[in-house]
Amino acid sequence: MKVLLHADVPKLGYFGDIVEVKVGYARNYLIPQGIAVMPTKANIKAIEEERARKVEVRRLQREALVKAADRVAGAEVTIEANANEQGHLYGSITESMIAEALQRAGYEVKSSQVKMAEHFTMLGSFTVPLRFAEDLTTEVKVWVVREGQAVDSEQAPAESTETAE
């Protein structure tokens, strides 16, 4: 069944797109929620201007994401954490802590853009992927050091030292 989208739907389409979906999905979810309508000539004409405006907004958002990804690519941050003598952290380093450290270092990163397989529970250096869009990813290096320990210049840049809270 073909429907005209009234909202962006991840992995399906954008506002104004005419997409093919299963009948049940259209009748039970998309149409009752106001996410889609039947693609009549009147409906298509009614959203043409709005679609052009949204396409431009998406283009500008994409440009901003590309700039943010290029700027943060290869960045390094240091997070201080409480750890025992063996290097095991008393807590763990999470996505929000990494995003916060990157934000304090001047980068535009949200915690939802930080993609970790698992939280860090040891001292050390880690490469963390950032996903700004479906096809726009980059990586940053995160140094996890013992709280209160001086960071030597060979281990991590001193100006990017951050504190985990």
For 135, phi then psi, to 5°, come to -115, 20
Closest CA to 55 of 16, 105, 94, 88: 16
Whole-prediction pTM: 0.67
56 has pLDDT over 80: yes
Tell me the pLDDT band of 50, cut-offs 50, 70 and 90: confident
Residue 155 corresponds to which tokens in the numbers above? 């281990």
HSE, side-chain direction, 13 A CA sphere, residue 121:
5
The reported pLDDT for the residue numbered 150 is: 53
Closest CA to 4 of 39, 31, 53, 33: 39
Average pLDDT over every residue of 16-41: 94
The per-residue pLDDT of the chain, averaged, comes to 86
Closest CA to 91 of 80, 105, 103, 102: 80
Average pLDDT over every residue of 126-155: 82
55 has pLDDT over 90: no
123 has pLDDT over 80: yes
Which stretch of DSSP H or E encloses residue 88?
A: strand 88-93
